[in-house]
Amino acid sequence: MDRRQFLHRALATAGALATAPLAACTSQGSGASPEERALDRLKPLDEWREILPPERYRILFEEQTERPFSSPLDGESRAGTYVCAACYQPLFTSETKYDSGTGWPSFWAPKSEDAIGTAEDNTLFMTRTEYHCSRCGGHQGHVFDDGPPPTGDRWCNNGLALEFVPEGDPLPELRS
């Protein structure tokens, strides 16, 4: 294959990847399933599929990604807590939320280190750190090192993987 053919194939591949729907881009992390990663196996995937709307199930348990700027939580500015949309474990607070300009809700730190689990994700021709709810194993998003002080982290979350609970409202009971 000559250089010109190589460049044409490379550009065609890049174009196909760039135009593929984001929902088709999945992150498999370390290869362990969400159930295997969960510290506390709460429910089989079939039960999560029955409980959750299809688009939430796909993001949380098939590790898909919603389109940027599609979640109302990206612009949410009230004080409160962000909980896992599957099991309701508190994951983030409004104190660490900021506008990253990426189109997804972003935080500079989780509510607690125990709330989040991480795994290496080698999809999309790069190495990233995927994170998930430590309680149910639901995929949340990816963490990057281009965030604001004091941590320098950007925890980039799928809005459909979270629910927002305004300050003063009771947190939902954890799903078991």
125: left (phi over 0), alpha (psi -120 to 50) or beta: left
Distance (Å, whole) CA 13 – CA 82: 38
Q: CA of 161: how far to CAs of 42, 45, 86, 136, 150, in Å? A: 17, 15, 7, 12, 25
**In the β-sheet with 162-166, what is the strand arrangement from edge to edge?**
90-93, 80-84, 162-166
Contact 156, 142 (CB under 8 A): yes
Run of H or E residues at 118: strand 116-121
Active site residues: 156
Look at strands 80-84 and 90-93 and give their pairing: antiparallel
**Residues in the chain, overall count:** 176
